[in-house]
Amino acid sequence: MYYYGREDLAYNLVFAATAEEEISGVNGIEKLLPELPPLSCGIVGEPTLMNMAVAERGLMVLDVLTTGRAGHAAREEGENALYKALTDIDWFRNYQFEKISPLLGKVKMTVTVIDTENKAHNVVPAQCHFVVDARVNELYTFEEVLETVHKHVKSEVKPRSTRLRSTSIPMDHPLVKAGLQLDRSYYGSPTTSDKALMPFPTLKMGPGDSARSHTADEYIHMHEIQEGIDLYIQLLNQVL
Amino acid sequence: MYYYGREDLAYNLVFAATAEEEISGVNGIEKLLPELPPLSCGIVGEPTLMNMAVAERGLMVLDVLTTGRAGHAAREEGENALYKALTDIDWFRNYQFEKISPLLGKVKMTVTVIDTENKAHNVVPAQCHFVVDARVNELYTFEEVLETVHKHVKSEVKPRSTRLRSTSIPMDHPLVKAGLQLDRSYYGSPTTSDKALMPFPTLKMGPGDSARSHTADEYIHMHEIQEGIDLYIQLLNQVL
């Protein structure tokens, strides 16, 4: 709006309000991008208290399946898939990847879901499935993380999605330099956003506090929005 | 049938064909017993190759619930209930009760089912539930086993059913003595049966092989049935 009448800008601006961000859905930003002309860079308006998230951890979800052999629990029969899974769960829980990012910290793996197909108390379970939420810093590719996992884990491991890669924008990018001029601080963000789906440099920066996300009565102050608009204008003024 | 016309017997015989044995249901033997006159002893016709199962392990099923605190998996939030459960699962897996029965062996606990209420990959689970199948020998009461469990396990433990107690018939019981006369061997059975629901001494003895139970195309040979009838008659002849 603010720049709409101006014909002397160095760049064209595109404003996109897209859906399905929370689920990184295929009907969101991913669907819009092919409709747009080539893009040089972007700002993603996630709540960062108007500071600069210059890097974002990637997200890879792993489905892990441990297989044993069914048997009657009363006899010494079968091979308990749940017991076999324990060893691998312990590995995911305790393994530390060597390279620690100054911005994004460690690669973090968490086992968050588990279930046995078997629901009968007297049957030794032949299968145990669990889910690993892996947050990957920019120093590893998903393929490298997977390779390490396969090396240490006996169960069958299937990455559910590898779309949400770790992203970062160079510290000497014009958008970042402009933000530094305005005394905005910068950091690496532990959460992923639509940023991960855009194949060009993006800066995550927006009004509101990320810690309020996904809680009851999520809110944003009016003054935060007003300050956000002012800061976006000051930032873009330096670039355009 | 064989004894129906006889009026000179020392005991009356009752033949009961009951349902719901596999699930130890309340509409099976448990429903019939109050309808019958007082009973001195019984024979349970489970497949034992016509040998004598003089004792049976008891079955206690435990529902175990570990509680933590939910949080976002990308941050260092929450308290992972699944991780807390691992410690207790390890205990159930490895603990050995001291007293070992010559007939029924050890008390055997097996974790057979597990699930987290949480199904979202990015949420640290606040709850983890698992099921323990505990086979108890005649040297422990269920209460004693539970007491030991409570002493070692931090999770909340609820016995699902304590109806299927360990049972045994004395070695000098007339039925057992009659069987020994016929050169039938005796043993302790790892599986439970309706025997556990009868409040009087019972001998588990019947044609067919228990190892064929619960498998595809379960079967019994004709000659096993014929031999079974003959042996039942020889056994009862000694008692009646």
pLDDT tens digit string along A174-191? 999 999 999 999 999 988
Structure token digits, residue A173 = 């990018």
Indicate whether B180 pLDDT > 90: yes
In angstroms, the first-to-last Cα distance of chain B is 15
H or E element, residue B11:
none
Indicate whether B229 pLDDT > 80: yes
Q: What global pTM score does this model have?
A: 0.79
Contact state of B114 with A124 under an 8 Å Cβ cutoff: no
Nearest to B121 among A72, A121, A131 (CB): A131
Nearest to B114 among A61, A115, A192 (CB): A115
Split at pLDDT 50, 70, 90, the class of B24 is confident
Interface residues of A toward B, Cβ cutoff 8 Å, are 57, 59, 61, 72-75, 80, 82-83, 86, 89-90, 93, 108, 110-116, 118-125, 128, 131-133, 135, 160, 190-192, 214
ipTM of the complex: 0.77
Residues 6+ apart with CB under 8 A from B148: B95, B97
The arithmetic mean of pLDDT across residues A39-58, rounded, is 94
Q: How far apart are the CA of A6 and the nearest CA of chain B, in angstroms?
A: 42
H helix intervals, B33-112:
81-94
Could you tell me if A61 and A132 are in contact, meaning their C-beta atoms sit under 8 angstroms apart? yes
Could you tell me if A82 and A133 are in contact, meaning their C-beta atoms sit under 8 angstroms apart? no
Interface residues of B toward A, Cβ cutoff 8 Å, are 57, 59, 61, 72-75, 80, 82-83, 86, 89-90, 93, 108, 110-116, 118-125, 128, 131-133, 135, 160, 190-192, 214
Could you tell me if B132 and B64 are in contact, meaning their C-beta atoms sit under 8 angstroms apart? yes
Split at pLDDT 50, 70, 90, the class of A146 is very high
CA distance A58 to B157: 39
Return the C-alpha torsion angle A48, A50, A54, A55, nearest 10. Answer: 0
Residues 6+ apart with CB under 8 A from A193: A21, A44, A46, A56, A204
Indicate whether B55 pLDDT > 80: yes
Split at pLDDT 50, 70, 90, the class of A62 is very high
Q: How far apart are the CA of B107 and the nearest CA of chain A, in angstroms?
A: 10
Q: What integer pLDDT is reported at residue B33 of this predicted model? A: 93
Question: Which chain B residues are closer than 8 Å to A108 by Cβ?
Answer: 73-74
Nearest to B74 among A116, A118, A190 (CB): A190
Question: Which chain A residues are closer than 8 Å to B56 by Cβ?
Answer: none
Name the residue among B87, B134, B93, B133 with its Cα closest to residue B113.
B133
pLDDT tens digit string along A191-205? 888 998 999 999 999
Question: Which chain B residues are closer than 8 Å to A132 by Cβ?
Answer: 121
Q: How far apart are the CA of A78 and the nearest CA of chain B, in angstroms?
A: 11
Q: What integer pLDDT is reported at residue B162 of this predicted model? A: 82
Indicate whether B202 pLDDT > 90: yes
Name the residue among A239, A225, A238 with its Cα closest to residue A47.
A225
The arithmetic mean of pLDDT across residues B25-32, rounded, is 90
Residue A240 carries which DSSP code? -
Question: Which chain A residues are closer than 8 Å to B187 by Cβ?
Answer: none
Report the residue of B23, B46, B111 to disrupt the A interface, i.e. the one with the largest count of A CBs within 10 Å: B111
Residues 6+ apart with CB under 8 A from B222: none
Could you tell me if A14 and A7 are in contact, meaning their C-beta atoms sit under 8 angstroms apart? no
